[in-house]
């Protein structure tokens, strides 16, 4: 993704954005780990503007990015509350560290750890 400032262009690798997202999710209580991937029907929507690592996909749009996460949560947590915390934390961290607008943070709960 590219950020244009008054002094020139800054290019930030999708790998950096994915790492920020992963570290942010690790700080949220209730999330155990990342899942291997997104459901098959969802992956059909991604084009060549998509970067992927285990459990994290980034879609570059013109002025923003869309983050898709697949996670495993702890048994007994209130899933909507944990997911809202993940969404907020990821969006805030990426925007603060990169100055790239995050359009959406989609979270897919793939499993529950007992």
Q: pLDDT tens digit string along 30-68?
A: 998 877 654 444 444 444 445 555 678 888 887 889 999
Cα separation, 70 vs 73, in Å, equals: 10
Burial class (CB in 10 A: 0-12, 13-18, 19+), 63: exposed
Cα separation, 49 vs 112, in Å, equals: 30
Residue 17: partners with Cβ closer than 8 Å, 6 or more residues away: 1, 51, 58, 65, 67, 94, 98, 100
| This prediction's pTM | 0.79
Cα separation, 86 vs 110, in Å, equals: 15
Strands 101-113 and 64-74 turn out to be: parallel
Ranked by mean pLDDT, the top range of 5-9, 21-25, 57-61 is 21-25
Q: pLDDT of 76-108, one tens digit each?
A: 999 999 999 999 999 999 999 998 999 999 999
Residue found by looking up tokens 């013109």 in the block: 62
């Amino acid at each position: 993704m590219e950020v244009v400032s008054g002094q020139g262009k800054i290019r930030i690798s999708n790998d950096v954005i994915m790492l920020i997202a992963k570290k942010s999710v690790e700080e949220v209580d209730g999330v155990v780990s990342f899942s291997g991937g997104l459901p098959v029907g969802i992956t059909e929507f991604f084009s060549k503007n998509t970067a992927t690592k285990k459990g994290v996909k980034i879609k570059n749009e013109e002025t923003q990015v869309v983050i898709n996460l697949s996670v495993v949560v702890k048994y007994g947590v209130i899933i909507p509350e944990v997911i809202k915390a993940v969404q907020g934390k990821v969006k805030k961290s990426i925007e603060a560290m990169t100055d790239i607008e995050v359009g959406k943070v989609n979270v897919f709960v793939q499993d529950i750890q007992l």
